[in-house]
Structure 1
Amino acid sequence: MTYPTAEHQPHILLIDSYCSFAYNLAALCKKAVPSSILHVIKNDSHTIYDLLPTLCQFSAIVVGPGPGSPDIFSDIGVVRDLWKVADEYMVPIFGVCLGLQSLGLEHGASLYRLDTVKHGQVSVVHHTSTDIFKGLRDVKVVRYHSLHIRLKDGGEIEELAWTEEDENGKVVMGVKHATKPFWAVQYHPESVLTDEGGLKMVENFWNLAKSWNRRNRPAFIPPPNINLPHSHIWPRVYQRHLPHISHELLDSVVFATIDVPNLSIANLCEYFGADDSPKPFVFLDSAASPGRYSILACISDSSPQITHYVNEAFIEVATGTSKQRHDLAGKGFWDWLDEYRDSRRVVGGDSRIPFWGGFIGFLSYEAGFGALNVPVRRQKGYRNVNHPDVNLVWIDRSIVIDTTCSKIWVQSLLPEDVGWVQTTLRAITNLPGELKPTPAPRGDAIIKFPDYAQYIAKIKSCKEYLFSGNSYELCLIDQTHITVPKEATISTWERYKLLRSVNAAPHGAYLRLHPTTFLSSSPERFLSYSRSPGTVCQLRPIKGTVRKLPHITREVAEEMLAGSKKEIAENLMIVDLIRHDLHNAVGENVVTKKFCGIEEYEHVWQLVSVIEGSLPDGTPVEIDDTLGWEVLRRSLPPGSMTGAPKKRSVELLQSIEGKERGPYSGVFGYWCAGGGGDWSVTIRSCFLHDSKKDGDEEWVIGAGGAITALSDPEDEWEEMKAKLNGVLRGFGASC
């Protein structure tokens, strides 16, 4: 593809080896060389013969990190051939992590496993103060590697930097080729915890590259354009699709507010049909701090419910009276939903609240596989007994409750709907304030936990993949099945009230969107985004939890969590992964607002980081308006539920776990018709399929944990059980 550019801007080729940190490296390169034009390719998208015609048009090449081993062709791809091109094609190259290992291996170095794996670990690197380390003191860096090289005595590769540590001895951290313009580092200069030496080192590489080009390519002038098929320029901006012309555009929100002291949210839900189990019902529940706004959807027979299975080429739209299939016609379901919502955009709602109407529902874990190019293989009849990957309902009428002050908004997207708004306000004021007691769970449920021996074996399998360099962190989960005998069943709404009473959460949900009943007490927000103009996307990964006890003060929790290498490493890996996902969608404007801060929740202390991203000033409103949806598309599945690198981790977990996750570890939430959205991670949740509720009910809960090189299998088993307990208590059980 040819891109128009300003004359004489340098072109840099970034080779992505399917790493979840590649766009962090792109952002670092752009910061070091602001005038550069960055072209990105995958390491298996071209052969060396594909690249040779355009290779010498680049001013430099950056070989990014990636999973696997440099001696496996499917892991390293075209990179291994770059080190051996003839002089007339030679271009300065800077390698990172896997790039350093490949450079060394192709020039006589030997490859070994570290005795102690370094994934998400901070080390001090010593160096010669020359070449890419010129002008730097010892640097504090982040490492993600289980493999390392030992250089050949008297070989072509010279050591520039190293670490010295008790567990691994001396480890090569930086190298250069003796005669060719090749430099590389083992660590990650783009990580959020690598100090300012990361930027300075890339600037040094660029100065070395320019000097080499002047000496060895004196006639070289960067071309205005480079035509390299199967590449893209970063950052990239996505254009909106045209809206569906068959849908009427609703212009303005009708709303009114009222203060209702001592409001019973349960009574409010029951007035609007929470107990009417055959009908759909949607309630997003901020039942605990730091949650604030609860959203009750007022669903009617005309409310469209939209479902999709990712192995099918159509979307179903159902109302209380009809069901239609819409052929996707070659487009993805993300684009179809974007167009659907775009045709119903509104203005004029109260800017103080985050939701005016729009989509509410859930997206499964597998709904994110398309962005990773990971296939989902399903047998015929899958939809009959499994949950949809997309299960959303379009909400025209809704009620929003500010739980901090009992203020209520009643609102409608329908034209001339003032009568319904006023009637609903009067009904709310007449609701009883007292709450009917929720009966204690009977404890008749039969619980089938994951098999202990199999789970321990899966943890060990994960660790072997970590030691071999295939992943830095694998978020392993398994399923627990709950059977409630027919004579002990209660309504699913009563079940949710039980769950809410024993495990109130800031991101709770009761979704009855057939064929799925979805109960959640999630503590973790995944992604929120504000309305345009100036949309800001915020992600808040949680890794690290300490239960509140009388002796566990904030100071004690901070010492336990922030002082734990394992907890910090888990959080760091996900922060770096999320920064990559955001850089992919928005470009350079990504900021880590908080790293591993301690936050207080109802029952626990959590280790939380906050990352934000936005498009550049001056971005057209129609692009800014859909930014949050684009970030969601490019960020699923949640990194806190996969590990890193994301694509390889998802593929490995498919094999290790042996079954699909479904709704668990996907997301649920909303996308407002006026812009903005909020999606939470589907954890601490349980699900019931319509095919499993005639007679005995069969519920499913997912739980697990992030497996790292520091994980102890017994501790991981206990952590998985601890995470189950919050939901199990809603069934009168525990483990």
Structure 2
Amino acid sequence: MPVSPERERFRELAAAGYRYIPLYSELLNDAETPVTLFVKLTKGTGRFLLESVEQGYQRSRYSFIGWHPLLTLKATGSLLTVSEKEGSFQINGEPLAEIYQQLSALRVAPLPELDPFFGGAVGYIGYDYVRQIYQLPPPTGPVLGMPDLYWVVPEYLVRFDHIAHRITIILLARVDTNDFDGAYEQARRKLTRIIDRFDRKIRPVPLPNTLKGEKPATRTTLLARHQFVDLVERAKEHIQAGEVKQVVLSQRISQKYSGDPFLFYRVLRSLNPSPYLFYLDFDGFKLAGSSPETMVRLTDGLVTLKPIAGTRPRGATAAEDRRLRQELLADEKEQAEHQILVDLGQQELNRVCQAGSIRATERMAVESYSHVMHLVTTLQGELLPSLSGYDLLRAVFPAGTLSGAPKKRALEIIETLEPLRREFYGGCVGYLGFNGNLDTCITIRTVLFHGRKAHLQVGAGIVAASDPEKEYEETLNKAAALLTALEQAGAGGWS
């Protein structure tokens, strides 16, 4: 089986002092999907699947599967726990900065032919990381007990190139300074064993109308309709007082779940294909989502931000869909809400991008998903050469579309109005590459599987013209695809 880099280049990279060298093999792919290989190749915790579907239901170029972490990085507050094969240790400090330090300390050889992503950390930053950036009141309310940050660095990564129809299997080979050839051969054998597992078979998922089960599980919310409406009224008082222009309020929905979380993911990706589809199987919980919104992306110095604000439900017919689309484009309240968050995004990029480089490549376009449609603007700029992905993430976190504007005061209002910590909701999921690239989505349209329960959270942007009842209905529209997928995947007791 041919592998790259060849032995001589491997020796050169090893002699240059790199601790890990990506060894990879490319295969023509006309038979496998990311889902089939995730099932065939991965096991245990610390595995993940990242997929993407662009508008028009066309698959984006890359999907990624990773497993068998070399490092696991978990932080709560300012305490980061680093776990590796040899054991674990803890570091006190700014956790995201420490995660970047740990990635750098691995000293992974760069292979430009494998860009944009050939390895690094994959995971999430929870909303409560915001306390590392802003001074906020102490957290209150019930908690699910998730770490604020959780990232894994996989030994194995499979990259699907859906345009070239190729699969690249990448292994981070540990360099043995006493035996470069032995390290190379050991990595070759590991790659061969991975390819041997392609022969496993998996069963297709029955369509929902062929599944037989009990009634869907009872759902619970911490906020009844009248309570959410009251929160919206209180938020509007802050807006009318001139403290903020917009603030995002959310509610959590929980229910028992006895099915397979990965089956939920498979149903969700079919029901609601989105630019960011992800399944994280981590220690103690699983996170599955279909997020429509980029938080921030960095590719070879180019920064991309895509604020989404302004929502309508999908129509029952094509004619109704067109009517709702035009209604959304003509709605002054939705346009004003959207522009507030575009302006916030531009202000935040101004702090980290080169002067004069920021531009809107797409403005107030309508993107449609299974149950809702949104207004979307795309902003791009060139990152200052002196800054890194770490600086960029801190500049834009949490997303304005999940907090409000001005952001600092909106965050304070959220703390006083919402009755629980957001934890996973409103943070981000994605990858931090060894090469400095990153791609993250906002953690929305996402379900957390923890214990024997499924938790999801949905929000609405509140402005001066908001109708509290309509804002409540908007949260239900955003939850619809997730709740449908839970029912179809077995929330009521299907095996």
Q: Normalization by structure 2: what TM-score?
A: 0.84
Q: How many residues align?
A: 453
For residues 718 and 554 of structure 1, the distance between their equivalents in structure 2, rounded to whole angstroms, comes to: 18
For residues 291 and 557 of structure 1, the distance between their equivalents in structure 2, rounded to whole angstroms, comes to: 27
For residues 252 and 148 of structure 2, the distance between their equivalents in structure 1, rounded to whole angstroms, comes to: 18
For residues 552 and 351 of structure 1, the distance between their equivalents in structure 2, rounded to whole angstroms, comes to: 47
The answer to whether 1:343 aligns with 2:105 is: yes
Q: Pick from 126, 133, 137: which aligns with 1:371?
A: 133
Match of 1:372, SS state, is coil
Contact 2:250 2:460 in 1 (8 A): yes
- Give the structure 1 partner of residue 82 of structure 2: 317
- Give the structure 2 partner of residue 258 of structure 1: 27
Q: Pick from 27, 31, 37: which aligns with 1:268?
A: 37
For residues 415 and 297 of structure 2, the distance between their equivalents in structure 1, rounded to whole angstroms, comes to: 28
The structural deviation recorded for 1:519 is 1.3
- Cα separation, partners in 2 of 1:289 and 1:344, compared to 1, 3 Å: farther
The structural deviation recorded for 1:409 is 1.3
Contact 1:518 1:687 in 2 (8 A): yes
Contact 1:441 1:731 in 2 (8 A): no
The answer to whether 1:606 aligns with 2:366 is: no
- Give the structure 1 partner of residue 148 of structure 2: 389
For residues 722 and 378 of structure 1, the distance between their equivalents in structure 2, rounded to whole angstroms, comes to: 28
Q: Pick from 375, 389, 393: which aligns with 1:632?
A: 393
The answer to whether 1:424 aligns with 2:188 is: no
Match of 2:262, SS state, is helix
- Give the structure 2 partner of residue 641 of structure 1: 402
For residues 331 and 155 of structure 2, the distance between their equivalents in structure 1, rounded to whole angstroms, comes to: 47
- Give the structure 1 partner of residue 220 of structure 2: 448
Q: Pick from 359, 362, 365: which aligns with 1:597?
A: 365
- Cα separation, partners in 2 of 1:308 and 1:520, compared to 1, 3 Å: same
The structural deviation recorded for 1:654 is 0.6
Greater relative contact order (Cα < 8 A, sep 6+) = 2
- Give the structure 1 partner of residue 180 of structure 2: none
For residues 422 and 564 of structure 1, the distance between their equivalents in structure 2, rounded to whole angstroms, comes to: 57
In percent, how many aligned pairs have the same letter? 22
Which aligned pairs between 1:462-477 and structure 2 lie closer than 5 A? 462-477=235-250
Which aligned pairs between 1:159-178 and structure 2 lie closer than 5 A? none
CA shift digits 1:129-187 (9 cap, x unpaired): xxxxxxxxxxxxxxxxxxxxxxxxxxxxxxxxxxxxxxxxxxxxxxxxxxxxxxxxxxx
- Give the structure 2 partner of residue 166 of structure 1: none
Q: Which amino acid aligns with 2:274?
A: A
CA shift digits 1:402-453 (9 cap, x unpaired): 345542111122243233234434543x354873546648443221133111
CA shift digits 1:349-387 (9 cap, x unpaired): 3546532110000001111232223254469xx99x511
- Cα separation, partners in 2 of 1:285 and 1:342, compared to 1, 3 Å: same
Q: Which amino acid aligns with 1:391?
A: Y
- Give the structure 2 partner of residue 123 of structure 1: none
- Give the structure 2 partner of residue 139 of structure 1: none
Contact 2:311 2:474 in 1 (8 A): no
Q: Which amino acid aligns with 1:362?
A: Y
For residues 414 and 323 of structure 2, the distance between their equivalents in structure 1, rounded to whole angstroms, comes to: 34
Q: Pick from 305, 325, 337: which aligns with 1:539?
A: 305
- Give the structure 2 partner of residue 711 of structure 1: 466
- Cα separation, partners in 2 of 1:386 and 1:710, compared to 1, 3 Å: same
The structural deviation recorded for 1:648 is 0.2
The answer to whether 1:528 aligns with 2:287 is: no
For residues 553 and 251 of structure 1, the distance between their equivalents in structure 2, rounded to whole angstroms, comes to: 55
- Cα separation, partners in 2 of 1:561 and 1:351, compared to 1, 3 Å: farther
Q: Pick from 648, 652, 657: which aligns with 2:418?
A: 657
- Cα separation, partners in 2 of 1:601 and 1:659, compared to 1, 3 Å: closer
For residues 299 and 439 of structure 2, the distance between their equivalents in structure 1, rounded to whole angstroms, comes to: 9
Contact 2:71 2:84 in 1 (8 A): yes
Q: Pick from 681, 702, 707: which aligns with 2:457?
A: 702
For residues 451 and 499 of structure 1, the distance between their equivalents in structure 2, rounded to whole angstroms, comes to: 26
For residues 254 and 171 of structure 2, the distance between their equivalents in structure 1, rounded to whole angstroms, comes to: 40
The structural deviation recorded for 1:543 is 1.4
Q: Pick from 327, 333, 339: which aligns with 1:572?
A: 339
For residues 359 and 270 of structure 2, the distance between their equivalents in structure 1, rounded to whole angstroms, comes to: 37
The structural deviation recorded for 1:273 is 3.1
For residues 606 and 441 of structure 1, the distance between their equivalents in structure 2, rounded to whole angstroms, comes to: 34
The answer to whether 1:458 aligns with 2:231 is: yes
- Cα separation, partners in 2 of 1:552 and 1:256, compared to 1, 3 Å: farther
CA shift digits 1:465-512 (9 cap, x unpaired): 11110110011101111123xxxx122222322333333322111112
Deviates more, 1:497-506 or 1:345-354: 345-354
Contact 1:598 1:608 in 2 (8 A): yes
- Give the structure 2 partner of residue 281 of structure 1: 47
- Cα separation, partners in 2 of 1:378 and 1:320, compared to 1, 3 Å: farther
- Give the structure 2 partner of residue 327 of structure 1: 92
Greater helix fraction, Structure 1 or Structure 2: 2
The structural deviation recorded for 1:527 is 0.8
Match of 1:396, SS state, is strand
Which aligned pairs between 1:661-672 and structure 2 lie closer than 5 A? 661-672=422-433
For residues 405 and 583 of structure 1, the distance between their equivalents in structure 2, rounded to whole angstroms, comes to: 36
The structural deviation recorded for 1:629 is 2.4
**Where do 5+ consecutive residues of structure 2 fail to align?**
1-16, 175-183
Q: Which amino acid aligns with 1:585?
A: V
The answer to whether 1:402 aligns with 2:165 is: no
- Cα separation, partners in 2 of 1:441 and 1:341, compared to 1, 3 Å: farther
Match of 1:732, SS state, is helix
The structural deviation recorded for 1:309 is 0.9
**Where do 5+ consecutive residues of structure 1 fail to align?**
1-247
- Give the structure 2 partner of residue 479 of structure 1: 252
- Give the structure 2 partner of residue 679 of structure 1: 440
Contact 1:685 1:727 in 2 (8 A): yes
Q: Pick from 250, 253, 269: which aligns with 1:500?
A: 269
Q: Which amino acid aligns with 1:307?
A: K
Q: Which amino acid aligns with 1:402?
A: D
Which aligned pairs between 1:38-77 and structure 2 lie closer than 5 A? none
For residues 438 and 405 of structure 1, the distance between their equivalents in structure 2, rounded to whole angstroms, comes to: 30
Q: Which amino acid aligns with 1:593?
A: T
For residues 615 and 446 of structure 1, the distance between their equivalents in structure 2, rounded to whole angstroms, comes to: 48
Match of 1:299, SS state, is strand
For residues 375 and 319 of structure 2, the distance between their equivalents in structure 1, rounded to whole angstroms, comes to: 14
Match of 1:414, SS state, is strand
Task: State which structure, 1 or 2, has the greater radius of gyration over its C-alpha atoms.
Answer: 1
- Cα separation, partners in 2 of 1:537 and 1:281, compared to 1, 3 Å: same
Match of 2:318, SS state, is coil
Q: Which amino acid aligns with 2:378?
A: V
For residues 411 and 31 of structure 2, the distance between their equivalents in structure 1, rounded to whole angstroms, comes to: 46
Q: Normalization by structure 1: what TM-score?
A: 0.58
Match of 1:413, SS state, is strand
- Cα separation, partners in 2 of 1:473 and 1:655, compared to 1, 3 Å: same
Q: Which amino acid aligns with 1:338?
A: Y
- Cα separation, partners in 2 of 1:704 and 1:581, compared to 1, 3 Å: same
- Cα separation, partners in 2 of 1:545 and 1:403, compared to 1, 3 Å: farther
For residues 548 and 360 of structure 1, the distance between their equivalents in structure 2, rounded to whole angstroms, comes to: 36
CA shift digits 1:605-642 (9 cap, x unpaired): 432111112245xx3xxx35x2x221111211111000
CA shift digits 1:183-239 (9 cap, x unpaired): xxxxxxxxxxxxxxxxxxxxxxxxxxxxxxxxxxxxxxxxxxxxxxxxxxxxxxxxx
Contact 2:448 2:456 in 1 (8 A): yes
Match of 2:352, SS state, is helix
For residues 524 and 291 of structure 1, the distance between their equivalents in structure 2, rounded to whole angstroms, comes to: 14
